[in-house]
Every structure is written in structure tokens, then in C-alpha cells.
Structure 1
């Protein structure tokens, strides 16, 4: 790849434009409930959720925020009133979940719940101590029908994390009422702040309405009461910074160690410049690109040991290291998956499981090949073989959607439904059952044929209008911000940050043991 060419400069300009669009949406998430809400927080001497996380993290250490665009395109605020991600505390990688009280008092809407459950899954799968920064008014009452019943999984998960020996820590910064009171109640370690933390199942007005008892916040659920009378609080902090000190102290005393193998070394930086990743993917998704150009800019020392390079060449497979962690890579080279690529992928996935090596799937696929020749050649059974291998592989998977991810190829490359430990997208990512043009052509043609078969008039302009309407709808629903808003990925990342993000994800993964599959399902040969 030559960054001096016109093709590279065009791809770079297109990617920068997409990044600018995504950064605008990220700014919405970072702004929380807006300037007035944040200013009101300041007058009360409180910090924003990201600032609270920063006070707990080891100084200078990275924080990998996850799903910042949750709820994008919905009726709810971008970010879903919740900040989550992975950061290092006293040398221990922890999963943070922080309510954003500047957005409707930190109440939980349906997207808040979905994001919360996904974050808890990440803590469980990767064996990460969970730190909950709590300030929430409980469920968003107008949407309670979508929150209350499935919301019980949030509390179930907390207790199951504890039972699995994964520590849970709750730092209560303000109100934690109704169902929210059970977050500290079900956590292993609880820190409350004098005159700030309020934890009760029902506040004074509801208590009076239900029982006739007249009480006040402090005696009903204040931090002092819980530290001295109820015993719910394990530690009593003077202010938010003191609460951060106590949280760090709790983590330091966990005696926590990783259960997976460490990196083989610090990992030499790539010989090719990761900054050049900004111009790898052409703006036109129909234009192919070589995924080896990406691998050479994210792998340690740009070293990549390719397996079967001359067989099934539409799929690149091989071994590399990223920040010292060994990884097997499957990367689409020319979009379409044929029988050879499917068989090649199946064997490589088995090899990775035998070697207990995590897998990185780099998506740029339009799906499995169609047509009489390929059907007769067994594309269904071979594609099914690949999907079987992905589904039953037990080494950790990371998926990175760099461009197209369509049809069953999305499944074979370990899409969201196949539970990769992490799934990230580039701003150039697109995903749907098929490309927008193909889907619109199929639907409009079938609709026109059906109408004419019934003797109804379906003129060409009507078919064309239907085609354009469907194409536009699918195009919009294939955009990375739409997919990220639906929580179909864990975040959209700048291509130039890919090596860093993958390194952080691999490090988090190795908190848990790395085990290969003992067996797979029946492969239809």
C-alpha cells in the first residue's frame, strides 16, 4: 500500500469524513444531560461519571470505554444514561459501570438495561472485578414495562459474579432507590459517602403513603445510618475523592491475579506505521483491499505467519502477536466465502483451539457464494461447517468489522450472535442481511412479480420508487452508528487506534483461563 497514491488519499479523506460524523455523536454522549445538568451537578460538589472513574483509575492508565453510542437513533439519550468500560485500578483490570445522573437522574430505560447486562456479561466472561458507581433514581417509570421484568437479570448477574469469585464493589454517590438499592445490597463491598449516599427501597413520601410513617432521608437510608445501624455500608467516605481512595484500597486488598497466561513480552511495535490504517479501506465497498495491510500495522514487528496462503485465498489465516499476546487471525480478502475458504477456516479454528490461542476475526464479507455451481459443490455444508466451528470454539474471540459484513458470512466470521468477547467496528463498517442495492432489488422485483401475477398494475416507476425507498432504508440501517446504537458492537473505533484497542481487549481476556474446545459438533463432510 502506497500512501502517496490518489486511491489512498481518496480512502483517507472518506474515512476522515466518517470519523468526523461519528465524533459528533460521541460528543453528544460525552455531554451527558447538557450544560445545565452538568452545572447543577457542579453546584452540589459532584463529579460527572467519567470524572468519577478517572479518580479511581491508576494515574496515567488507559480507560477503554465500551458502547458509548448505545441508544443512538432511539428516543433516549446517546449513551443510554450509563458509562461503562475497562480500566486499571491498583494494577488490576476492572469493569466499570457508572450511572449518569445528569440524564434524567440516572434512571434506567430499556437501553440502559441492555447496556448494563452486556457490561455484566463482559465482566463474567473475562473474569473482571466489577465496580459499580451508583447514583440512580431506579427505573424510568414511563418505560417500566420494558425494564422491570427483564431488569431482574441485573441483580441475578451480580450475585452470580460473586458466587463465581469475581469481586463486586459498589460506590454510592447519591440516591440509590427502589430496585437500585439492591445494587449495593448485592455487592461484595459497599462504600457510601457522608451526607450524599441515600439507599432505601422507598423514599419518605412513598413510606408515608404506604404506612403513614413520617421519616427523613438520613434516618431512612443515609450513609451514616447504613454505616452504623443497618450495616449495609462497609466503608464511610468523607467525599467523592475519599470514596475513590477507599475503592482503590478495596481493590488493592483483593489479592487478585490473572488466571490466563501473560504476554510473551512487551511486543515490538509494527514496522509499518499504524497511522496509515486511515486509508486502507476504499470508500466504495465493492472495491477490494488486502487485509494483510491491516495486519502488518497492528501485529508486533509486523510479523504474520500465514497458513494456507495459496488455498482459499479469499480468506487470510495465520498467526501473530499483538502487544505480546498470541492471536490467530481470520481476515476476509475479497469479500465472498467459497467452499475452500470455509474448509480452511474450519481447520484453522480447530488449530487455534488445540493451541489455546485467541482468535481475531476481521470482517469484510458479502457472505457465502451463491449459484448452481457452488450449490452443487456443497457451499451449504461447507459454510455450515465453518459456522459450526465458530459456534463451538471455546478460545476467546474478538471481532473487528472493517468494511462489509453481510449475510451468513457475518455469522461465519463470528458476528454478535456468536458471542465474541469483544466486537468493534471501524467507521467504514456496514452490516445487514445483504447489501442495500441487492436487498432492494430482490424485494421490489418480488413485489412487482406478485402484483402482476394477481392481475394488478405495478408500473415501472412504482417499482423504481419502491427500490429507492428500500435501498435508502437498508443503507441507513447498515451504518455503524445504527448498529452501535443497537448494541450490536462494543464501540466504533478510529482505525489508527486498532492496535491499542485490541491490546487492551486481549489483556482483559487473559484475566480468565484460555481453554480450547474438547470437541465440535458433527461436521457434514
Structure 2
């Protein structure tokens, strides 16, 4: 059992806690923007039509009092589009079955899909396929946001490809259509295994009456062209005709119940709560990420019984590795202690990842890294080949990976600790997280040195005033672009979470990944000695 050395009453802890709470208040405000959809005017207009909001539909679909793990709630943050990208997505339990659920938000531009909606939808489908989770679409969308069609049309075809691949893999796809599903959007129900349409509400057609008139001269109306009753009685596209939205959600639950779905992964042992309170996680990460912290304090508040069997504790001490259980599931943990990864840490990580693959144990990466160490002695000592070994191991490991970015995630350390490019099953960030090719001051300094050397080579006098302005501008830009909200807005994670929710989020993810069978053993590439 980990013996915590944390003093929650200390001034340092209280200062860090206050800083984290301030960041969480900002996070709550951004989540409120996403929940607000298109704004009060459009929300009231939607309700006046007798329709449920997207989140209301999700809440009525999932089992009562069951959790819903929302994914990418900050999608499109910092862009020209509303936070949330006009879609709700996440993992929820329907009739006891964990499912990926997406719901268009028609209060935002009629539920039209913008480039960030597309990214969010593709991520949801990827999660459903890799983790063998039934995929339920709650559909009401006007199709593509036409002014941005150049960014949507060609890559958007993957949405329909993914639906067919899910079905081919034996993962059920269900479409509940509450309103418009037009143009390319018509293929969502068209390519789903099960389709439910709401009478007098659902409208599914490749081209609406105006387009048909322009293309063929034919006069038609919405109902005869693509209404729910027509599709139920004539075209056969609708498998079920629902009387209203509540009936559609009831039928959706019935479909999932009839799947007789069984999880194929590991069965957890009984879970035990950590002996230290989760609230203390708020005061662990320093405001200045250059200041190290002990990740064992995080593990002690996440692992079952606060128990952790550390691997090679005296070797490569800036990386903590070892075995634990989270909500009864066995995991291997890799956590950055001092930030920098040296050759010893890289070799230790490589061996540990191979051991986890031998025992088919999922890996949890707790990131707080400034990257691999640089300098003449370290280059001569083989830091490149040792870092490459670690990245090789991460790349070719086949056990599920879960990543939490707690603090810094800079340079190739992001890669070695299983950043987004290395396909973790799930990746979440704390509000304190920052990620970039390097720290703002370091990046600005490198540009300054290069510019100064260029001026010297040309025999020019270096403009110190312009250099200072350039450094300040670059530092501000990189600082902004490395923040958790900015990165989450681009879907470089699956969401920014409250540190106190880390154990719950990891537990839900571990349960979700075990809907799929345990993957086949890994085959690694060549490790350079």
C-alpha cells in the first residue's frame, strides 16, 4: 500500500488546490456553453415544436441513474463554431449494455455538421469499433454546413464507411430518427442495422422537394418524398414507426435489449475504494509545470485500496512503473515522476510494456513529461536509440492503452507516453495539462538563436528590440496553443476532466474496453541495442 506523504493542510497544497479549482470553474463555464446549444432563443423554439433536446433524448435512452461518459464536449473550442460542435457523444448504458451514443443538436444551425462535428462523429465510431460497443445514433440534422463543405464532403464519406464496417464486425448500429436526415445524412439510417423513425417528424431523403424540383421538375412534398410513414410502409427503410419521440426511445431500448449482448473481455474482481480521498488530487499538480511532483500520490488516490506493486523502483527513477487494480481491473501504470525521460527510464518502460503484453494487462499512462533528455553526454549515451525502443514498444503493444495528461506533455515524451498519435483507446486531460513540441520559452529561444546566427552569418547587426518582440509573441502563441481547452477543442483528447473523477473515468473506460475480447499478443519491431 502506498504511504502518502501529502499534507493537505500545507500552504503549498492549498495554493495548488485553489489554482486547480479556478481552472475547473473555467471548465464548468465552457461545458455550460456546450449544454446551452444554439442559445436560449433556439432552444425555446425547439421545445415549442414539442421536441426534446439532444441531452434529454440521451438521458431518456440510457438506464435510469446510470452514468454517461461524455466524449469531446469541448469540440470546436476556439473555432468559429459553437463549443460542442452541434453534437453530443459519449458512452452510456442501455438495458445493461454499454453503447456509444451520438445525438445531433438541432438547436445549433439545425444540427448541421461542421468540420468539428465530423471529427467528433468519426472518433465516436472508432471507439465503438475498437471496443466492440453497439453504436446508437440519435438523428436530427440538416446535413453538411454548406459554407464549409470543402472540409466535410470528401472526408465525410468515412462516416458511412464506418457504419458498414461496424456492421461487418458484428457491432450493431441503430438509428433513431427524430427529424430531418437529408442529403448525405440520409445514409446514416440507410446504412444502419436498425432504423426507427418518428411519425410526422422524421424526414429522410437524398434531395428535398426544392432540389427534386430543380433536378427533375417533379412536384413533391416532404411526407411523400421522405416521411416516416412512407419509409415504414413503402420504401421499407424504417424498421419501426414510432408515434412520438418517447416511443422512439422506448423502441431503441427494446432493440438493444433484444441484442442479447455479451461482453467478451476480462471480468473484474470486486473493487475497493482507495484509502485516500479523491478531493486531495486537486492539490497535487503545481501551477508551474517545471516543478516536479510525485505521481505515486495520484496513483494512491486512483488505485484499488491505494495498492501499487512498483516495478524497478530504484532504476530509472524519473519514471514510475508498476501494477495496480482500478475498479477491480488489473492495470500496468507508467507515470512520469521528474518529467524528463533518460535512457534508463526508456529501457525500463520498454521492458515493462513487454511484460504487460505477456500478461495481457492494459496500460495506464499518467503523463507529466518535458520529453527525452538532450545534451552531448546523453546523445553519446544513446538517448535516441533508447527513446526509440520505448516508442517502438508503445507503438506495437496490443493491450489497451489509457492515457491521462496531468501536467506537461512536451516533445517526443508525448509520443513515448502514448499521446494521441499512438492510438490509446481513451485519452483524457486535466485542466492543468499543456502539450506542445516544447515549452513556450524554449521554442521562442530556439527561434531567437537561429535568427541571431543567420544575421551573424550575413554580417548584419541583430535587432534586439525586434527579437524581444518576436519572443514575446511566440511565447504567447505557444502558451495559448498548448492549453488543455485548445487541444481538447481539436479532439486531441476525449475530454478535459476534473481530477477527482479520474478513477471513475478510468473505471468506465476499462469496463468499455472489455466489451471486446482480449487482443492477440504483440509482435514488436527491431529493438536497436
- Alignment TM class, shorter chain as reference: over 0.9
Q: Secondary structure at the match of 1:320?
A: strand
Written as runs of structure 1 = structure 2, the 5 A alignment for 1:352-367 is 352-367=356-371
1:247 lines up with 2:260 in the alignment: no
Residue number in structure 1 paired with 2:53: 48
Q: Which whole-Å deviations, capped at 9, do the CAs of 1:378-403 have from their partners, x for residues lacking one? A: 11000000000000000000010000
> 1:22 maps to which residue?
27
- Contact 2:396–2:522 (CA under 8 A) maintained in structure 1: no
The residue number in structure 1 matching 2:455 is 451
Q: TM-score, normalised by structure 2?
A: 0.98
Matches of 1:184 and 1:515, distance apart in 2 = 31
1:345 to 319, 344, 349: 349
Q: How far does the alpha carbon of each residue in 1:229-259 deviate from its partner, in whole angstroms, 9 at most, with x for none?
A: 1110011111111111000000000011011
Match of 1:67 in 2: 72
- Asked if 1:161 corresponds to 2:161, the answer is no
**CA RMSD, Structure 1 to Structure 2 (Å):** 0.8
2:415 alignment counterpart: 411
Q: What secondary structure does 1:330 align onto?
A: strand
CA distance in structure 2 between the partners assigned to 1:295 and 1:517 by the alignment: 27
Is the counterpart of residue 492 in structure 1 residue 499 in structure 2?
A: no
Three-state SS of the structure 2 residue aligned to 1:298 is coil
Deviations, residues 15-49 of structure 1 (Å, cap 9, x unaligned): 11111112211111110000001000100111111
Cα drift, residue 452 of structure 1:
3.0
Contact between 2:341 and 2:371, CA under 8 Å: does it hold in 1? yes
Alignment deviations for residues 377-434 of structure 1 (CA, whole Å, 9 cap, x no partner) = 1110000000000000000000100000000000000000000000000000000001
Query: 1:275 matched to which residue of 2?
Result: 279
- 1:3-14 aligned at under 5 Å gives the runs 3-14=8-19
- Tell me the distance in 1 between the aligned counterparts of 2:265 and 2:30: 36
The answer on 1:469 being equivalent to 2:473 is: yes
SS at match of 2:320: strand
1:514 and 1:444 mapped to 2: Cα distance? 50
Question: What is the aligned counterpart of 1:336 among 337, 340, 354?
Answer: 340
- 2:186 maps to what in 1? 181
Per the TM alignment, residue 457 of structure 1 is displaced from its structure 2 partner at its CA by 3.1
Name which of structure 1's ranges 483-492 and 440-449 shifts more when overlaid on structure 2: 440-449
What SS does structure 2 have at the residue aligned with 1:120? helix
Contact 2:360/2:518 (CA < 8 Å) preserved in 1? yes
User: Counterparts of 2:522 and 2:231 in 1: how far apart (Å)?
Assistant: 49
Partner of 2:117: 112
Q: Please give the alpha-carbon distance, in whole angstroms, between the structure 2 residues aligned to 1:44 and 1:217.
A: 17
Residue matched to 2:301: 297
Distance 2:216 2:319 in 1: 67
Q: Is the 8 A contact 1:300 1:320 kept in 2?
A: yes
Aligned partner of residue 300 in structure 2, secondary structure: helix
Q: Tell me how many residue pairs correspond in the alignment.
A: 524
CA distance in 1, matches of 2:164, 2:523: 31
State the TM-score, normalizing by the size of structure 1.
0.99
1:354/1:516 contact within 8 Å kept: no
Deviation at 1:516, TM superposition (A): 5.0
8 Å contact kept, 1:128–1:508:
yes
Structure 2: distance between partners of 1:178 and 1:262: 43
Contact 2:70–2:91 (CA under 8 A) maintained in structure 1? yes
**Which stretch of the first structure deviates more once superposed, 101-110 or 85-94?**
101-110
What secondary structure is seen at the aligned counterpart in 2 of 1:271?
Answer: coil
Q: Describe the superposition over 1:420-478 as per-residue Cα deviations: whole angstroms up to 9, x where unpaired.
A: 00000000000000111111111122112212322333222221111111111100000
SS at match of 2:37: coil
- Contact 1:268/1:300 (CA < 8 Å) preserved in 2? yes
Equivalent in the alignment of 1:395: 399
1:36 aligns with 2:41: yes
Q: SS at the partner of 2:301? A: helix
How far apart, in 2, do the equivalents of 1:168 and 1:346 lie? 38
Whether the 8 Å contact between 2:181 and 2:205 is mirrored in structure 1 is yes
Return the match for 1:428 from 420, 425, 432: 432
Counterpart residue number, 2:314: 310
SS in 1 for 2:370: strand
Aligned to 2:145: 140
Partner residue of 1:196?
Answer: 201
- Which residue matches 2:88? 83
Q: Structure 1 regions of 5+ residues with no counterpart?
A: none
Q: Structure 1: which 4+ aligned runs deviate by more than 6 Å? A: none
Q: Which residue of 1 aligns with 2:219?
A: 214
Q: Deviations over 1:138-161 (max 9, x none)?
A: 111111111111111110000000
For the residue of structure 2 that corresponds to 1:297, the secondary structure is: coil
2: CA distance, partners of 1:315 / 1:514: 27
